[in-house]
Amino acid sequence: MLVKRSLVPLLAALCLVLVLSGPAGAQDTVTLTVWDNFTREAEQEMIEALHAEFEAAHPGVTIVRESYETSDLTALLPLALSETTGPDVAMINQGIANMGALVQAGLLLPLDDYAEQYGWLDRYAEGLHRRNRFTEGGEQFGEGNLYGVSNTAEVVGLYYHRDIFEEHGLSIPTTFEEFESLAQTLIDAGVTPIVFGSLDGWPAIHEYGALQNVYATLEELDALIFRFEDGTFDTEANLQAAQKLVEWVNNGYFSEGFEGMDYDNATTSAFVNRQGAMWLTGSWMSGTLVEQLDEESVGFFLLPDLEGSEVPLATGGVGLAYGIRATSEHADLAAEYIDLMTGPRAAELLFEQGYLPAVAVDEELLTEGTLTADVVHAWEAISANDKVGHYLDWTIPYDEIVASLQELLGGQITPEEFVAQVQTVYEESAE
Amino acid sequence: MQSLFRRIRVDGNKPYVRAYHPYLFLLPGFVIYLVFVLLPIAGTLRYSFYDWTGFSEPIYIGIDNYRRLLSDRDFWQALSHNFFFSIFYTILPIMLGLFLTSLLTRSRLRGLAVFRTGLFIPQIMSPVVVGIIWRWMFQLDGPINQMLNTFGLGHLARPWLGDFTFAPVAVGIVGTWVEYGLAMVLFIAGAQAIDEDLYDAAKVFGANALQQFWYVTLPGLRQQILVAFVITFIASLRIFDLVFVLTRQGGPGKATTVASILIYQEAFQRNRAGYASAMAVILTLIIVTISGIVIYLQSRSDQQEAL
């Protein structure tokens, strides 16, 4: 009896709470929920400015935004997008394990009609749009429907201290051979050519990828990444790249003790403190370097290829892509929002924030001889000439490729074993 | 718990009734436990029989996940790393804890509380903070290598966390640093409960400090050692955060990959939540079995002693 008596008011109170918290005041207003990865404080102003413009143009529309670090965003999205209360617009990471899995689960809306309506396909090269393409059901990567549009870009190349180059009478190399002789000059002078740290794992993907771009063709790499029928890791080019990487390690191209250096602290400070002439990493560091060093003291160039092509293949791509939840009730509005966030107005603001926008930057905003101009030009060159190479972890499980590269760098396995090992993982992960 | 099952007298004239309202006070806690612990465990067990990405429609595949697990070299290798780490998480902390206990309790030490608190701090620090501190300690130009250079041992300096031979030891040492405080505090509390007369008696029979420790302190701490063993051993099988911060995916290569890291990678990076669940179930079974055996053996030897 005691139980019953004490529970009745409790249950009544509970019911009341439930009734009160039910849908209220959802008549005229529309709420557009957006999940992005703009978590830095300086970025808030930029996003809020764009949101204010959007809301002013659409009376009654309120944008509710949630920001997450990329890794959190990636982990949370699958569940969030399966809910009918999930985000209408979300920034999605590319690759089979991320966007691919979401398409497979039917959680994303194909954007092809909107792309035509707003002219999104003209914003940047088709080779880059492919990274946001999957066939219906997510069977094939790199073809089929468009599931996202990006507003930022990145390119992996070499930052260099201009004065160290001058001191040793060096100029930007135009062939791979020239690059290696440049590195040898530095080594002979007791200067570490390339700062590098492999403790965090992923930077090794970029060093190897750069060498892969030297030896492989884009067709080979496309087949590997998008898993076309002839896609394989077991190629002569991949073996050559692995052999060259080991050679570089043995010849002292990289920082001493690179195995124990992390990226954010050890490697970054090694470059900033001039403990090496160059740094082979992505354009995402240019903002930090401009902040910490003089904008004119550092430059950026792409690792040249064997033939000395004017625009060599370079790893890069477009950043996280805006996509729409398949079950969103406000898809049209969401598309309009994406149009704003990936358009020229957003590009200008992104550029001010130190981002490399996916769309071309107004030349007037650039000053020749600065790091920013170097980076923008490098990106525009590979983007316009369809010379954008891929990140290996889009198709090979991240932990496996990183472990294999660390084993290769540490001399635990030979280049031949490395290629065989990665090929096995590539085949196994096809299931 | 005993009082809950006792019949209490509600009214002088009425017979004894079983009191149930104490259970009501347990209810909120139990509901939380049910929702956040028991149900997820049941869910994990269920999904271990499914092919499931974590958000797709689960497909029942019987014991396929387990069959595949049997021949998964990575998983058994990761487990063997867990057992390697248990040397650093369990054996060394218990030995260190015993040593510190005998130092701190048998001698009249000034500022005992300061030492005890100071030595316990690593245990209460967030593992992520511990990891970040030690990542810096192990750096090439970090304090450990600097110290080696100072003592003329510069040839031993190395990138600890990136070295295939020494990374497991380096990660293990951090584990020891975290866990010894727990063992020590348990042992100090236990040692204070040991009858001082026993030490006096031992002294009368001419026992030196080492013999006193061996014949009085150690047997007196048996229960505490057992508790420390079970807690730290479970911790060594569950390691995740320290490795995740120190060597990321368990590098270099797979030298420090442990079971939980593998479970995380399978579930959240490769979208194989069903397979990851099977791994989690096996890991749980191993933990429960080993803890169970230890506790059973201990209670049996206690009974034999009582007879």
The C-alpha atoms of residue A413 and residue B110 are separated, in whole angstroms, by: 55
Same domain, A267 and A398: yes
Cβ distance A97 to B271 less than 8 Å, yes or no, reads: yes
In a domain, A371, yes or no: no
Encode pLDDT of B21-78 as tens digits: 888 889 999 999 999 999 999 999 999 999 998 888 899 999 999 999 999 999 999 9
Q: A194-195 and A278-282 as β-strands: parallel, antiparallel, unpaired?
A: parallel
Task: Give the total number of structural domains in chain A.
Answer: 2
Reported ipTM: the value is: 0.85
Element (H, E) at A109: none
Half-sphere exposure of B240 (CA within 13 A, CB side): 11
In a domain, A370, yes or no: no
In a domain, A196, yes or no: yes
- Say which of B55, B254, B269 has its CB closest to residue A397: B269
Residues of A with a Cβ under 8 Å from any B Cβ are 2-3, 75, 78-79, 81-82, 97, 101, 104-105, 107, 198-201, 256-262, 265-266, 397-399, 402-404, 406-407, 409-410, 412, 429
Chain B residues inside the 8 Å CB shell of A79: 54-55
pLDDT by 10s per residue, chain A, length 431: 333 444 444 444 444 444 444 444 444 689 999 999 888 777 888 899 999 999 999 999 999 999 998 888 988 899 899 988 899 999 999 888 889 999 998 999 999 999 999 999 988 888 899 999 999 888 899 999 999 999 999 999 999 999 999 999 999 999 999 999 999 999 999 999 999 999 999 999 999 999 999 999 999 999 999 898 889 999 999 999 999 999 999 999 999 999 999 998 899 999 999 999 999 999 989 888 988 898 889 999 999 999 999 999 999 988 899 999 999 999 999 999 999 999 988 998 888 888 899 988 888 888 888 999 999 999 999 988 889 999 998 889 889 999 999 999 999 999 999 999 999 999 988 76
Same domain, A382 and A402: yes
At residue A194, the 3 state secondary structure works out as: strand
Q: Residue A300 sits in a domain of what CATH number?
A: 3.40.190.10
The C-alpha atoms of residue B240 and residue B260 are separated, in whole angstroms, by: 6
Chain B residues inside the 8 Å CB shell of A409: 252
- Say which of B55, B158, B269 has its CB closest to residue A78: B55
Chain B residues inside the 8 Å CB shell of A258: 159, 162
In a domain, A280, yes or no: yes
What range defines the domain where residue A291 resides?
A: 156-315+377-428
- Say which of A75, A260, A397 has its CB closest to residue B270: A397
Chain A residues inside the 8 Å CB shell of B251: 198-199, 201, 402-403, 406
* Number of DSSP helices (H) and strands (E) in chain A, helices first: 18, 13
In a domain, A260, yes or no: yes
Q: Which CATH entry fits the domain spanning B72-306: 1.10.357.20, 1.20.1560.10, 2.60.120.10, 1.10.3720.10? A: 1.10.3720.10
Same domain, A102 and A185: no
Rounded to a whole number of angstroms, the distance from the CA of A79 to the nearest CA of chain B is 6
**Contact present, A171 and A165 (Cβ < 8 Å):** yes
Cβ distance A257 to B159 less than 8 Å, yes or no, reads: yes
Same domain, A97 and A202: no
The C-alpha atoms of residue A304 and residue A172 are separated, in whole angstroms, by: 9
Backbone angles phi, psi at A62, to 5 degrees: -115, 130
User: Does B26 contact A at CB distance below 8 Å?
Assistant: no
Same domain, A306 and A324: no
10 Å Cβ neighbour count for A407? 21
Which of these, A285, A292, A249, lies nearest to A159 by C-alpha position? Answer: A285
Rounded to a whole number of angstroms, the distance from the CA of A54 to the nearest CA of chain B is 32
What single string gives the DSSP state of each residue in B122-184?
A: HHHS-HHHHHHHHHHHTSTTSHHHHHHHHTT-GGG---GGG-TTTHHHHHHHHHHHHHHHHHH
Candidates B71, B132, B248: best to mutate against A (most CBs of A within 10 A) is B248
Question: What residues does each domain of chain B span?
Answer: 72-306
Same domain, A279 and A422: yes
Candidates A96, A256, A401, A406: best to mutate against B (most CBs of B within 10 A) is A406
The C-alpha atoms of residue B277 and residue B266 are separated, in whole angstroms, by: 9
In a domain, A23, yes or no: no
In a domain, A1, yes or no: no
**Contact present, B274 and B52 (Cβ < 8 Å):** yes
B114: CB partners within 8 A, 6+ apart: none
Kindly give the interhelix angle for B112-124 and B167-192, rounded to the nearest 10 degrees.
Answer: 130
**Contact present, A132 and A147 (Cβ < 8 Å):** yes
Chain B residues inside the 8 Å CB shell of A71: none
- Say which of B21, B162, B265 has its CB closest to residue A260: B162
Chain B residues inside the 8 Å CB shell of A408: none
